[in-house]
């Protein structure tokens, strides 16, 4: 998310006449400058507005980029805010996601803290304004992107064709893994024949048959108001606590008309 934009803050004469600049005074002598961009500005074609906040010493303390509708739809981001430290170096980025992205992911905001060389040190995740968890891992969105199970189920069954002569298995070529936000509802129970059948099918399709023996239990979980069974590796079961929330990392697919979920790890949400 960081380093998406390099915007020259020097405002030349033609810029002043083609875009609207409004200055207002905030608390404790803070100056807030809002720049509204006209459609078709090639240099700032992804932006609707930019908000610059200066402290009482005249130094910039934050810069907020508000994206126009077209770019927001492409990037899933409403805005990106840069927060500066006392020596004028960015110390964190605050990314606000669109409502459409929140609908399919459950994620509304992300905060990335960086060192003086702009390297990410940790990431915080939020649903609406509620804090979820923080981690140093920077690869979650590429390895286990945030998706709601309800959204994945909808995608997986969009082109479903029933085969009454045999078992129907489904695996998406686009959606391969996910992070989903759930609540544990019950203690683990034994997997049934359908669970073991899908697990075997999935692991064989991925040349990972050694993983089959790691699973013997499943747990009933809830996402929003819908319940699902999730298969958990035996080594994770001791950490499953009824009524507690978690962000599960999982693979998934379908067996006949059921979505099947294979958890490989989870992070507690407090």
Residue 11: pLDDT band by 50, 70, 90 thresholds? very low
Q: Residues 19, 48: one domain?
A: yes
Output DSSP code: residue 22.
E
Phi/psi of residue 164, nearest 5 degrees: -65, -10
- This prediction has a pTM of 0.86
In this structure, what CATH number is given to the domain that contains residue 108?
A: 3.90.930
Which tokens hold the place of 121? 């040190």
CB 21 within 8 A of CB 38: no
* Average pLDDT over every residue of 167-186: 94
Question: At which of 103, 137, 171 does a domain end?
Answer: 137
What domain range includes position 29?
A: 13-137
Residue 17: pLDDT band by 50, 70, 90 thresholds? very low
Q: Residues 258, 222: one domain?
A: yes
Q: Residues 46, 113: one domain?
A: yes
Number of structural domains, the chain? 2
- What whole-number distance in Å separates Cα of residue 25 and Cα of residue 16? 20
In this structure, what CATH number is given to the domain that contains residue 257?
A: 2.40.50.140
Q: Residues 132, 158: one domain?
A: no
Q: Mind listing the pLDDT tens digit for each residue in 246-257?
A: 999 999 999 999
- What whole-number distance in Å separates Cα of residue 91 and Cα of residue 42? 29
Whether 7 has a pLDDT exceeding 50, the answer reads no
Question: At which of 116, 137, 158 does a domain end?
Answer: 137
Q: Residues 22, 114: one domain?
A: yes
Question: At which of 137, 162, 182 does a domain end?
Answer: 137
* Average pLDDT over every residue of 136-164: 89
Q: Residues 88, 201: one domain?
A: no
Q: Residues 212, 258: one domain?
A: yes
Q: In terms of Cα–Cα distance, which of 248, 97, 149, 259 is closest to 194?
A: 259
């Amino acid at each position: 998310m960081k380093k998406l934009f390099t915007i020259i803050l020097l405002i030349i004469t033609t810029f002043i006449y083609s875009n609207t600049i409004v200055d207002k005074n905030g608390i404790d002598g803070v100056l807030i400058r809002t720049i509204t961009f006209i459609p078709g500005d090639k240099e700032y074609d992804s932006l609707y507005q930019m908000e610059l906040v200066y402290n009482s010493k005249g130094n910039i303390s934050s810069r907020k980029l508000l994206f126009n509708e077209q770019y927001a739809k492409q990037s899933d981001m409403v805005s990106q805010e840069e927060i500066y430290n006392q020596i004028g170096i960015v110390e964190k980025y605050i990314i606000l996601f669109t409502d459409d992205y929140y609908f399919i992911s459950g994620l509304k905001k992300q905060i990335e803290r960086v060192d003086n060389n702009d390297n990410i040190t940790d990431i915080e995740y939020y649903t609406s304004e509620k804090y979820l968890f923080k981690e140093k891992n920077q690869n979650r969105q590429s390895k286990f992107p945030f998706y709601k199970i309800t959204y994945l189920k909808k995608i997986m069954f969009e082109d479903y064709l029933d085969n009454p002569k045999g078992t129907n298995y489904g695996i998406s070529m686009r959606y391969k893994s996910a992070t989903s936000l759930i609540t544990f509802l019950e203690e683990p129970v034994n997997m049934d024949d359908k669970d073991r059948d899908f697990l075997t099918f999935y692991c064989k399709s991925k040349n990972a048959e050694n993983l089959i023996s790691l699973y013997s239990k499943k747990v009933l979980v809830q996402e929003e108001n819908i319940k699902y069974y999730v298969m958990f590796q035996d080594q994770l079961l001791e950490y499953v606590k009824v009524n507690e929330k978690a962000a599960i990392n999982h693979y998934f697919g379908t067996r006949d008309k059921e979505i099947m979920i294979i958890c490989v790890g989870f992070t507690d949400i407090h």
